[in-house]
Structure 1
Amino acid sequence: MPSRREFLLGVGVAGTATVAGCLGSRTDEPGTDDDYAWPTVGADLRNSRTIADGAAPRDEPDVEWRVDLESALATGEPTVTDDTVFVNTGRDIVAFDRETSERRWSIDPENEPYSYQGSPTVFDDTAYVPEREVLTARDLETGEADWTFELERIISESALTVTDTDDGRVYVAGGNAVHALDAKSGEELWEQELLGIASYAIAKYADWLFIATKGGELYRINRWEGRVEWRRTIEAGIASAPIVLTSSDRRLGHGVAIADGDGSVIYFDSSGKREWQTDLGGFGNDGLAIGHRTVLARSGSTLYALDANDGDNLWRADIGRSSRNPPIIVGDTVYVGGDRLRAFDVGGGYGIRSLRIGGQRFDREATGDVNYVTAADGKLFVTTDVGRFEGDDTAALLVLS
């Protein structure tokens, strides 16, 4: 057993902060799957932001390749297929070759204003691309348009509210409406009006879509008919995409979690009943993650780990200056950006209350702040943020392994 002095020194090195819990760790085994993709916002249809059995660097990684984005920041997380990486630079949406890092195609290479938000979703051989107020289905290899669908308002902030599914439909929200489209033809199948402007990514689970508006409306909508099954109002507004927690995440049943505008995380069961609410003491950033029975949430400069069953605070860690960087979970490791890329044991390490060791796996400095982090095939795909675009300063896409 370590001495008390050694234990406290270990906590300082690990960089973790106060924790609720008992001696021991909820750590799961390292992931072994190195054959996976990140084809849509949030990694999967329920926005889990997790590859539960995925392999990824657990020690400080090396740069495999890097490309300049000719922009100040990315405005959507990298989506990754077997051979392509998509990055929204704000000025353009670019498809990079994963092997060579060369630009295959982009939608608007001469554009100067920052006018694009969100990230493409890829299904089969088609990339569904948010292009201001137009959703375009493009051939994955060539970028040629197969069809377009016009919305009444711009697909805005992080709202690549597009989810392509195995039912042959695409769901997209723009302005105060959500639409179901035939994935092959772009034909509209139904439209449902919303109270407020849709934002963030749609979550899908079983026969339902979960949709959030920035104004604070959370919807459960039948995906076949577009019928609203329930709606809940969060007075402080909604500050994250909804994520679905399934029976594998909790002891009983499934439901949906969101971050609200006053810094709380709220969990609703499948009937829309508010089951628990946890105050994080600050404003959250877009993007919760659920994996290994743990909800991860960023609030300002703190990363929180909450018990998925009741919202109890399991552990928390200081992650430095705030930025737009929701956490992800790959295998037994949590990755989150900010002033650098940090990686944590999903169980928070070992310890009791405020005494923890082994929680932080690494922190890695980068040129500029770390913006988004995603993963595929055992590698991390990271965008940096220089804050402003002057002279030779530019954001970059880094592939780490």
Structure 2
Amino acid sequence: MPSRRDLLLGVGATSAAAVAGCLGRRSPDPGTDDSYTWTTTGADLRNSRTIADGVAPRDDPSVERRVDLESAGAAGEPIVTDDAVLINTGMDVVAFDRETMERRWSIDPENDLYSYRGAPTVFEDTAYVPERRTLAARDLETGDADWSYELEGVISHGSLTVTDTDDGRVYVAGGNAVHALDANTGDHLWEQELLGVARYALAKYADWLFVPTRGGELYRINRWEGDVEWRRTIEAGISSAPIVLTSEDRRTGHGVAVAGGDGSVIYYDMRGTREWRTETRGFGNDGLAIGHRTVFTRSASTLYALDANDGDERWRVDLGRGSRNPPIVVGDTVYVGGDRLRAIDVDGGIGIRSLRIGEGRFERQEAGNVGYVTAADGKLFVTTRVDRFGDDAAELIVLS
């Protein structure tokens, strides 16, 4: 029987060209944009989790800063603006000065319970912060609340807020309802009840919101009036935020993808017609990313790259121990946490399926597992996780 080495060497230059041809696209170049931010969950309103032309470390990076989070781990991804970094530590939501990484403000410094979930969203000079059952609009510099709105249900993990320049609204899901608020005043504009408890981040595209529930309902809701335009049920439940795919991601058409609780990835067009469904041989985990015409999904201990057009598997890479760590894409590199931070070529190196060479750019191990990863201005912002009942504390690490 041929060895793994023999199989991979057999790919050679000719096979590499054939593999590239099967992908039907030119391999992405390293990014050139070193001036970008990560101001909302999922990087943008459609939850792409991608800075397609961004610059980020591609080789073994150096540590620029380490910040003690004074908790066992972050409960939401780092939100990074031009001058601030916001972290939900599970027990508090903290704003750090980006230059010095000193604390500017926090909302609950005396709290010792893990009671906060999800990440804030920053729009202009305001941070929209999920605070259990309350959404608060806080001054980014001082933390003072301009307004707050209390929901009947708890704001679920990731079911946060989206703001937009063209309508001046904030959208937030809590309990079994989604709400639209005026971003400047907090005035309530509409409410739509859901069949189940909202979970994960909302996605917005054009005139629509895409809202998932814990029980497996995916809604398309008109953002102006809050009317339900369609609802689809994933029997295994939904285990990721929805991501919107546009004509830049696919050959034709726009649509939305979600991960099912059974490890599947399902894609619907904008009318709610299912176009494809792909099994990934494991339980689904929070987090899809779409970049360079590829859907990236972590399922158990494997990272899968799927063709955005039809869901066909392009490649997969073993990530070691299973964990709930969503991938991100910056430039030509996929970054994902777990037992360590991994940086992986978006083309998966060279090979067939899981037999790969050259897929890894670097691996970095920290004390404790690596949780969330985001990026801004050419740097990576990485959180770690430790034993909740131990003496160690999680960190925010800035890598460059």
Instruction: Say whether the fold is shared (TM-score over 0.5).
Output: yes
Alignment of 1:198-277 (within 5 A): 198-277=198-277
Alignment counterpart, residue 23 of structure 1, candidates 19, 28, 37: 19
Q: Could you say which residue in structure 2 is the equivalent of 1:394?
A: 393
- Return closer, same or farther for 1:396/1:10 CA change in 2, 3 Å cut-off: farther
Corresponding residue SS for 1:200: coil
By how many angstroms is 1:355 displaced?
4.2
| Higher relative contact order structure (alpha carbons within 8 Å, sequence separation ≥ 6) | 1
Corresponding residue SS for 1:42: coil
By how many angstroms is 1:243 displaced?
0.4
**Structure 1: tracts of 5 or more residues without a match:** 12-19
CA contact (8 A) 2:316 2:354 kept: no
CA contact (8 A) 1:95 1:105 kept: yes
By how many angstroms is 1:126 displaced?
0.2
By how many angstroms is 1:354 displaced?
5.0
Alignment of 1:103-118 (within 5 A): 103-118=103-118
Corresponding residue SS for 1:23: helix
- Return closer, same or farther for 1:299/1:51 CA change in 2, 3 Å cut-off: same
Amino acid at match of 1:103: R
By how many angstroms is 1:216 displaced?
0.6
Amino acid at match of 2:107: I
By how many angstroms is 1:22 displaced?
4.1
The answer to whether structure 1 residue 280 and structure 2 residue 276 are counterparts is no
Alignment of 1:360-379 (within 5 A): 360-379=360-379
By how many angstroms is 1:5 displaced?
4.8
Post-superposition Cα deviations, 1:87-138, rounded to whole Å, max 9, x if no partner, equal 1100000001111010110000000000000000000100000000000000
Alignment of 1:73-84 (within 5 A): 73-84=73-84
CA contact (8 A) 2:345 2:361 kept: yes
The answer to whether structure 1 residue 153 and structure 2 residue 149 are counterparts is no
Q: Could you say which residue in structure 1 is the equivalent of 2:316?
A: 316
Post-superposition Cα deviations, 1:245-295, rounded to whole Å, max 9, x if no partner, equal 001000011000000111100000010001000001111111100000000
Q: Could you say which residue in structure 1 is the equivalent of 2:175?
A: 175
By how many angstroms is 1:387 displaced?
2.8
CA distance in 2, matches of 1:7, 1:130: 51
Q: Could you say which residue in structure 1 is the equivalent of 2:163?
A: 164
- Return closer, same or farther for 1:190/1:390 CA change in 2, 3 Å cut-off: same
- Return closer, same or farther for 1:229/1:21 CA change in 2, 3 Å cut-off: farther
Post-superposition Cα deviations, 1:330-381, rounded to whole Å, max 9, x if no partner, equal 0010000000000111011123455432211111111110000000000000
- Return closer, same or farther for 1:31/1:93 CA change in 2, 3 Å cut-off: same
Q: Could you say which residue in structure 1 is the equivalent of 2:341?
A: 341
By how many angstroms is 1:388 displaced?
2.0
CA distance in 1, matches of 2:43, 2:94: 19
Post-superposition Cα deviations, 1:35-88, rounded to whole Å, max 9, x if no partner, equal 000000000000000000000000011110001111011110000000101111
Q: Could you say which residue in structure 2 is the equivalent of 1:15?
A: none
Corresponding residue SS for 2:344: strand
Corresponding residue SS for 2:199: strand
Identity within the alignment, %: 74
Post-superposition Cα deviations, 1:160-214, rounded to whole Å, max 9, x if no partner, equal x211111200000101111110000000111111110001000000000000001
CA distance in 2, matches of 1:43, 1:5: 38
Amino acid at match of 1:318: D
CA distance in 1, matches of 2:376, 2:218: 30
Amino acid at match of 1:395: A
Corresponding residue SS for 1:85: strand
**Which moves more between the two structures, 273-282 or 23-32?**
23-32
Give aligned pairs, total.
389
CA distance in 1, matches of 2:332, 2:27: 6
CA contact (8 A) 2:317 2:354 kept: no
Corresponding residue SS for 2:202: strand
Post-superposition Cα deviations, 1:209-255, rounded to whole Å, max 9, x if no partner, equal 00000101000000011010000011111111000000100001100
CA distance in 1, matches of 2:155, 2:232: 23
CA distance in 2, matches of 1:266, 1:154: 27
Amino acid at match of 1:207: D
**Structure 2: tracts of 5 or more residues without a match:** none
- Return closer, same or farther for 1:21/1:75 CA change in 2, 3 Å cut-off: farther
Amino acid at match of 2:327: P
- Return closer, same or farther for 1:312/1:66 CA change in 2, 3 Å cut-off: same
Amino acid at match of 1:23: V
